[in-house]
Amino acid sequence: MILRCDGPACRLRAGDLGLGAVDGESVECLGRCETPVAAEQLGRSLTIRRRGALEPYGPAELPRQASPPILLRDAGFADQPSLPAARRRGAWRAAPELTGLAARELLASLPTRPRRALANAFAGRALCERDPHLVLEGAGVVARADGTPHLAVRVPASWIDARAALQRAAAEAHADGLTGELSLVADGGVEPVRAARLARAAQLGVDWYERHLTVLCAVSGDIFNPGVYELPAGASVADAVAAAGGAVDGLCTAAAARFACDGEPATDPAGAAPSALVVFHARREPLAI
């Protein structure tokens, strides 16, 4: 049985490829919006590029960022999931040294933002796969604040590759005495994007981090360069579309577009950039995909 992603971007592409309900049982968003159509079969991550053609999933390169990234700073390096490479770039220098009081103060300085539908799905998965030690270091801040060595990260069961990357990284970090054991939970725990924010704030200092706040926006759909983009705080939908190269209609730049922001239809390009943005050229009907 093929389990096919039912997220907005995959439904859009499935229609383009002529895939119907017979081409797989629908499951919740798999957070792999850079692939034509995300799917799973017998615990393997797959991509559907055309009817009847299943290919192993492999993460695409992170797109070029419009401004210097902070959370995604090291995620583009192919060796970043390994502990030696992550430590060369500054991982695990700050969080293990925090006292419980300092960890609680750090948590209080970065308040939790309200969760939204599809929020952080694509970006969180990308961070887990590409920079798992950053996520684990941030989860360590939460564990230290709670007075426990045990790490808990909120990762859906459908994120097969992200879970595997976190478990491999956690085994390395645990063997090196950096952290306790890891639990991957569907509810509770710390979200990967929040964990990454906590780790960067610990590494760079809260004052510096607060002056350079950014947002992660996963852009997909009728767009030239789908992927995860790190934008300055306060960025708009139009800023996210521009960072991704603009909307397309066939091979041409679209004069107008409509959007799905965190799963909800939207038409205002001046609205705040969401966590997950699906772009539709003007002749598509976002509600009919």
Question: What are the pLDDT digits (tens) for 35-70?
Answer: 888 988 888 899 988 877 888 988 778 899 988 999
Is the pLDDT reported for residue 253 higher than 70?
no
Q: What is the pLDDT of residue 167?
A: 96
Question: CATH topology for 214-288?
Answer: Ubiquitin-like (UB roll) (3.10.20)
Tell me the pLDDT tens digit for each residue of 135-189.
Answer: 999 999 999 888 888 899 998 888 889 999 999 999 999 999 888 889 998 888 8
Joined tokens for residue 94: 């700050």
Is the pLDDT reported for residue 272 higher than 50?
yes
Q: What is the pLDDT of residue 140?
A: 92
Rounded distance between C-alpha atoms, residue 3 and residue 255, angstroms: 35
| Segments in 244-279 forming alpha helices (H) | none
Contacts of 57 (CB under 8 A, 6+ apart): 32, 35, 38, 45, 46, 47, 161
- For residue 120, name the pLDDT band (cuts at 50, 70, 90): low
| Superfamily, domain 83-211 | NADH-ubiquinone oxidoreductase 51kDa subunit (3.40.50.11540)
- Rounded to two decimals, the pTM is 0.89
Joined tokens for residue 65: 């960022």
Selected residue with higher pLDDT from 170 and 33:
170
**Domains of the chain, residue spans:** 3-56, 83-211, 214-288
